[in-house]
Structure 1
Amino acid sequence: MEDIIFLIFWVSVGMVVYAYVGYPACLMGLSLFRKSGRVETDSKGWELPRVSFIITAYNEEKQIAEKLQRTLSQDYPQEKLEIIVASDCSTDKTDIIVEGFGRGRIKLVRAPERRGKEFAQKYAIEIAKGDILIFSDVATSLDVQGLRTIIQNFKDPSIGCVSSEDRFIDAEGNISGEGIYVKYEMFLRKLESQVNSLVGLSGSFFAARRSVCCHNWATDLPSDFNTLLNTIRSNMKGVIDPATIGYYKNITDEKKEFNRKVRTVLRGISVFMRNFSLLNPWRYGLFSWQLFSHKLCRWMVPFFLIIIMFTNILLVQRTGYLFLLLIQGGFYSISLFWYILRDTAWAKEGHKMISWVKIPFFFISVNSAIALAWWKYAMGDRATFWEPSKR
């Protein structure tokens, strides 16, 4: 029996290590032999396509005018740029502002009832005339060349969707130090693009071919993840474009940030469960391994952590296992230490060790959010309704 517990312990440890270190290491190894991602093609004979820029909004009266002005200022042929605001039944002045903006340059589509972000986007897609559809949140800012840059990727006919790279900005609009998790995620997406395809898009700003969006558009699933999976089913791939930066502000309220993580994972699990067939490697090849590694393995980490702690306690009489248990206890204690002191003057002064103290806390916070998302999914919650995070 003890040998079985021993095996379970080390398999669980191995799965946690694989989820965060092993998978990117495998991608790095594959990148030495496989090169995918953006293909530089001759611009001759390729014209900029018609683009429909879809902005989804719910009660954004404070930010919508600025977003529309920034979008109109994009360096893209105006005759080829269609701007549509998809209102998810806003109850403030958002719709009124949109209707009076841009002298008819902006189209407003209001969903007949509030059923979530993707439901509103569906109505925008139905009237969109562009060959390429851009999806953006109100809070996301772009460089003036952002639209033209992301569109260049579609010279490659094998690319069905493109994600921007996420970048944090502070309250004054200056670029701030990204969190370790965001840096890690962007690094992982770049590796995936080099090897084969992304496994997820940035929900705040991404582009897709019209053909990808007009089939199997689910109104109850997150459009970023579902669009990527639709792209794979269409025998195309998704890539990240590091030259296209989507700027957005930090959520300063940690409780809201935690709830956002729970909602994001819950919606992602819903997509995954409805597309389980994509794990078939005989049909979807390398992408099946990527989907398993990037999504499922990461989402199973909370359960492996519980198993590791429990089996470690059972094995504590073995040589070395008391030390491993103390390491775990120390890790969780550091997390608790930061949770208690994060609002103190010491924490806010920005001591050098703070960034290291934050790592255990953030790791536990993320995996707690994942565990809660699984619980909500088991209880039947699907987080269909959407409300933008106030930043």
Structure 2
Amino acid sequence: MEALFWLSVWFIGYAYAGYPLCLYTVGLFRSRPVRKSEFRPTVAVIITAYNEEKRIREKLENTLKLEYPREKLELIVASDCSTDATDDIVRSFASSGIRLVRSNVKGGKEAAQKLAVESTIGDVLVFSDTATILEPTAISEIVNNFSDGTVGCVSSVDRFIDTDGVVSGEGAYVRYEMALRSLESRVNTLVGLSGSFFSARREVCRSWAPDLQSDFNTLLNSIRLGLRGVADPDSIGYYKNLADQKKEYERKVRTVVRGISVFMRSLPLLNPMRYHLFAWQLLSHKLCRWLVPFAMIGALVSNLVLAASSPFYQATLLVQVLFYVLACLYLLTQQLPNIGVLRIPSFFVMVNISILDAWIRYLRGERIVSWSPSKR
């Protein structure tokens, strides 16, 4: 039980603190800066939409404000067989140069993206969700990274807009993720991209999988081609937090199920003899993170057994119980002070419950291909 307890605690610590610390240490001896400079290839901006009649007009108006040479820019909306007024609204922007690519059957986000990719001629492809608002210079900034020939794909920085303006547990978590991406990018390569706003070279997208999570799979395709993924701090995607906790939970479950599906079909990338540092990154950032719920269960169960044998283990059990009580109070009542630090336990617990739920669904054979965008 002691071995299980300490192994579980170590594992949780490594997944969230040890891995970034190792990256920071490696970064003291190894650095791969992006040779970013002005670069103006042909670009295709692909916006994926499904039943977005309430938000698509704002997104298209925002897209038309992008500062990039218009003769080198394609603007495409990939509609996943929308059944509302989305397609009609997009067609009304045809005179402004926005083109509709519509799937005749609902095949999922990636299937719609694949149709759009096949209909474009841009050397660089930029993908954005309808809910994501971009700054006018966003395309120019993200494309400039491809002046470095080692870069295969680029991820934006996520910025949440809370309706009440208060930094939430997720806000802190997103800042942590952005800092981790910065470390990964500086040392070697990213392990994942922001699904709401990312870009890639055309050759990276040639083997587009219509049934695999596009942001994660695009990064892995870059690695297979000997390229890397980087984070660009000057490319920012703005979007709102989900106010409905149930919808936010379901979004996280879907994301992890889809991520596990990509991971399981990419196991050869864990070979350190061929993929070197990235194999360790993939194992640490993805698999270790997805195994944390099991370590949390191991730490709690072993601590319950050990508590009867030592005041020390009674104290550690008390810490664990207080942590989960605080998390449950926020999740179930939301009556505690609206302080970001105090809300982190609830977000941490919700994330790991959703990961555990995702594993159960994946092992039962569930594979999520179709989608319904989160209404933010």
Q: Which TM-score applies when normalising by structure 2?
A: 0.96
1:50 matched residue in structure 2:
42
- 1:311 and 1:222 map into 2 onto residues whose CA distance is 36
Counterpart mapping for 1:246-285 below 5 A = 246-285=237-276
Distance in 1, matches of 2:369 and 2:255, equals 11
Q: 1:142 aligns with which of 100, 115, 134?
A: 134
Closer/same/farther in 2, CA of residues 51 and 175 from structure 1, 3 Å limit: farther
Is the Cα–Cα contact under 8 Å of residues 53 and 133 in structure 1 kept in the other structure? yes
Partner of 1:106: 98
CA distance in 1, matches of 2:55, 2:33: 34
Q: Does 2:187 correspond to 1:195?
A: yes
Cα deviation code 1:261-287 (max 9, x no counterpart): 111111111110110111110010100
- The answer to whether residue 363 in structure 2 is matched with residue 378 in structure 1 is yes
Aligned to 2:14: 18
Cα distance in 2, alignment partners of residues 64 and 356 from structure 1: 35
8 Å CA contact retained: 2:257, 2:367: yes
* 2:293 alignment partner AA: P
2:70 match: 78
Deviation (angstroms), 1:171: 4.2
Q: How does 1:252-331 map to 2 (within 5 A)?
A: 252-319=243-310, 320-331=312-323
Distance 1:126 1:293 in 2: 34
Task: Spell out, residue by residue over 1:177-208, the C-alpha distance to the aligned partner (whole angstroms, 9 max, x if none).
Answer: 76111011001000000000000000000000
Aligned-pair CA distance for 1:338: 1.9
Given that 1:74 and 1:145 are in contact with CA atoms closer than 8 Å, whether structure 2 keeps it comes out as: yes
**Matched residue type, 2:347:** F
**Structure 1 segments (4+ residues) deviating >6 Å:** 174-178
| Alpha-carbon distance in structure 2 between the residues aligned to 1:130 and 1:339 | 45
Partner AA of 1:116 in structure 2: G
Contact 1:190/1:240 (<8 A) preserved: yes
Which of 236, 244, 250 is 1:245 aligned to? 236
Write the letter of the residue equivalent to 1:388.
P
Pairing 1:113-128 to 2, within 5 Å after superposition: 113-128=105-120
Q: Output aligned runs, 1:329-348, within 5 Å.
A: 329-342=321-334, 344=335, 347=337
Q: 1:275 to 1:254 in 2, by over 3 A?
A: same
Residue of structure 2 aligned with 1:236, choices 197, 220, 227: 227
Aligned to 1:208: 200
Cα distance in 1 between the residues matched to 2:163 and 2:341: 24
1:364 alignment counterpart: 349
Structure 2 equivalent of residue 153 of structure 1: 145
In structure 2, the partner of 1:169 is: 161
Aligned residue pair count: 374
- In the alignment, the residues of structure 1 paired with residue 128 and residue 366 of structure 2 have an alpha-carbon distance, to the nearest angstrom, of 25
How far off is 1:310 after superposition? 1.3
2-side partners of 1:52 and 1:289: how far apart? 33
- How far residue 56 of structure 1 moved from its aligned partner, in angstroms, is 0.4
Partner of 1:388: 373
The answer to whether the Cα contact below 8 Å between 2:51 and 2:84 also exists between their aligned partners in 1 is yes
Q: Aligned residues: percent identity? A: 55
Change (3 A) 1:108 1:176: farther
**What secondary structure sits across from 1:317 in the alignment?**
helix
Shift of 1:334: 1.2
8 Å CA contact retained: 2:48, 2:113: yes
What letter corresponds to residue 371 of structure 1 in structure 2?
L
Which of 149, 155, 177 pairs up with 1:185? 177
Report how far residue 112 of structure 1 moved.
Answer: 2.3
**Quick check: 1:87 aligned with 2:79?**
yes
The CA distance in 2 between the partners of 1:206 and 1:90, in whole Å, is 23
* Structure 1 range deviating more: 96-105 or 281-290: 96-105
The structural deviation recorded for 1:93 is 0.7
Aligned partner of 2:370: which letter? Answer: F
| Superposed CA offset, 1:240-276 (max 9, x none) | 0011110001111111111111111111111101101
Name structure 1 gaps, 5 residues minimum: none
The 1:176–1:63 alpha-carbon spacing in structure 2 relative to 1, beyond 3 Å, is farther
Question: 1:36 pairs with 32, 35, 41, which one?
Answer: 32
Over aligned residue pairs, what C-alpha RMSD do you find? 1.6
The answer as to whether partners of 1:146 and 1:245 remain within 8 angstroms in 2 is: yes
- Tell me: CA distance 1:256–1:37, structure 2 relative to 1, closer, same or farther (3 Å): farther
Once the two structures are overlaid, the 10-residue window that deviates more, 60-69 or 197-206, is 60-69
